[in-house]
Amino acid sequence: MSNSKNSSKKLGVWTTTALVVGGMIGSGIFSLPVALAQFGGISLFGWLFAALGAFILAKILGRLSKVIPDTGGPYAYSRAGFGDFIGFFVGWGYWLSLWATNAAIAISFVSYLSVFIPTLKDNSFLSLITALITIWLLTALNSYSVKGGGKTQLITTILKIVPLLAITVGGFFFINWSNFSPFNVSEVSSIQAITISTAICLFAFLGIEAATIPAGNIKSPEKTIPKATMYGTIAVSILYMASSFALFSVLPPAEMANTVSPFSDAASKMWGANAEYIVAAGACISTFGALNGWILISGQMPLAMANDGILPKPFAKINKNESPYFSIIVSSVIVTILLLLNQTKGLADVYTYMILLSTVATLVSYIFSVSAFGLFSIERKYGFKPKLTNFILTLIGFGFSIWMMFGSGHEAVSVGFIGLLLGIPVYIWSKRKI
C-alpha cells in the first residue's frame, strides 16, 4: 500500500460518508417495498431489525478500522485474525460480489433510464450498449483518480436523497391508517413474517463496510472510517424506515404488490401523473451513484490482496493519483463479460442470481470480521480486551449474520458458496506464482 505525501488526494469524512450512503442506497429502496407488500405493515419491523443488525455490524467494523486501518476492510480483519487462506476466501468472495453487484446495478440504471428513453425497453442491444458505456465512463473516472470518484459519489448521494426525502415527507401528509389493518396480511405467523422481512430488508443495507475498503485512500482512516460508517448507517436507517412508512401510508399493500415502481405510484397519487418522472430521475441518480461507488471499491480489494502477496503483483499497481487502475479495469472487464454473456436473456433471472450471490458473499465477510473482533478480544490483540460489551457485540453480530444467511434461503446460500469455492484454485495458483 502506497503512502501518499499529498493528503489532498485522499477522501475526507463527508466524502467517505457519501461512499457508505451511496453504497447502500442503490436500486433496493425503489424495489424492495414491492417484495415487502406481501406481509403488509408488519414488514416495517423488518426494516427496524435490519437497521439494528446493520448498526451492530457498523459498530464492530468501525472499531476494527481504528486498529487495522488497512485497505480491504473485512479482508484485512479476517486475514489478521485467521491467516492468509481465510483472508483470501473473504477477499475473493467480496470481490466476486462486486462483479455481480455492478452488473446488476448497471441493469437497474438502464431500466430506470428507459422512462426517459422508451426505446431502451424493447431494444436489448441498445440497453446493453448503454449499460456498458455507463460502466466504462465511471471506470475511466475512478481509474484516473480516487478523489474524482469520491467527489462524484458525494454529489450523486446528495442528489439521490433529495427526491427520496420529498416523497417521504410528502407521504406523511397523506396517511391512510386503514392501510395498516390487518397489520400482517400474509398467511405466515408474525415471527416468520418479521424474519423474512428482515432478510429482504438487509439487502438494502449491504455496503455498511464501504468506508473500510479504500482505507489507504482516506485521510486519518482510524478516525474517519468509524465516523463515516456510523453516520452513513444511521442516516440510511432513518431514511429507509421513514420512506417505507410513507409508502404504506399512501399505497395499500395489495396495490403496492402489483406495481413495479411503488415510489412512482405514490408520487403520482400525491402530486399527479407527471410525478413519476421525478422518481425515475431519482432512481437514475441513485443507481448511477451506487455504481460509481462500487466501481471505486472494486479496485481496492484486489489491491490489498496483491500488496499482501496473495494475488499477482499487477493488481497492486496505482497511478500518480493513487488509483488502483489495473484492478478497477480488470473488474469492469469481468462485469462486461457477465453482461455480454447474458445479452440474449431478459436478465431478470440473471439479475436475481447476481443479487443472491452478492448478498451471501458479503454476509460471509461480515461473519469472519465479527469472529475476528471476538478473537482479538479474547487474545487481547490490537488493544482489545475481553470485556463483556465486546462479547455481546460479537454474539449479536455473529448471530444476526447467520440468521440472515439462512433467512436468504438455501438457493442463495448454494449459489453464493459455489462462487466462493471457485476462488480456491485462484488462491493455489497465486501462492505458487508469487
Mean pLDDT value of segment 165-185:
80
Query: pLDDT, tens digit, for every residue of 230-245?
Result: 888 888 888 888 888 8
- The alpha carbon of 389 is separated from its chain's Cα centroid by a whole number of angstroms, namely 27
Across-strand partners of 218?
11
Give residue 1's pLDDT. Answer: 40
- Of 98-107, 164-173, 328-337, 339-348, where does mean pLDDT reach its minimum? 339-348
Q: How many residues does the chain have?
A: 434
Residue 309 has a CB neighbour count (10 Å cut-off) of 13
Residue among 331, 290, 328, 301 nearest 153 (CA) = 290
At 332, which helix (H) or strand (E)? helix 325-341
Write down the pLDDT at residue 360: 80
Cell 460479537 sits on residue: 394
Query: For the chain, which residues make up each domain, given as ranges?
Result: 7-433
Give the model's confidence band at 207: pLDDT under 50 very low, under 70 low, under 90 confident, else very high. Answer: confident
Top pLDDT among 157 and 281 is at 281
Type and span of the H or E element at 335:
helix 325-341
Q: Give the tens place of pLDDT for each residue, 407-428.
A: 777 777 787 788 788 888 888 8
Average pLDDT, the chain: 81
One DSSP character per residue, 125-155 reads HHHHHHHHHHHHHHHHHHHH-HHHHHHHHHH
CA distance 153 to 141: 11
Given a contact cutoff of 8 angstroms between Cβ atoms, the answer to whether 287 and 138 are in contact is: no
Contacts with 308 (C-beta within 8 Å, 6 or more apart), sequence order: 79, 84, 87
Q: What is the pLDDT of residue 280?
A: 79
Residues 7-433: name the CATH superfamily. Amino acid/polyamine transporter I (1.20.1740.10)
Total Cβ atoms within 10 A of residue 168: 22
Cα 244 → chain centroid: 19
CA-to-CA distance for 244 and 254, rounded, in angstroms? 15
Give the confidence band of 261 by pLDDT, cuts at 50, 70, 90: low
Residue 2 has a pLDDT of 40
CB atoms closer than 10 angstroms to residue 313: 12
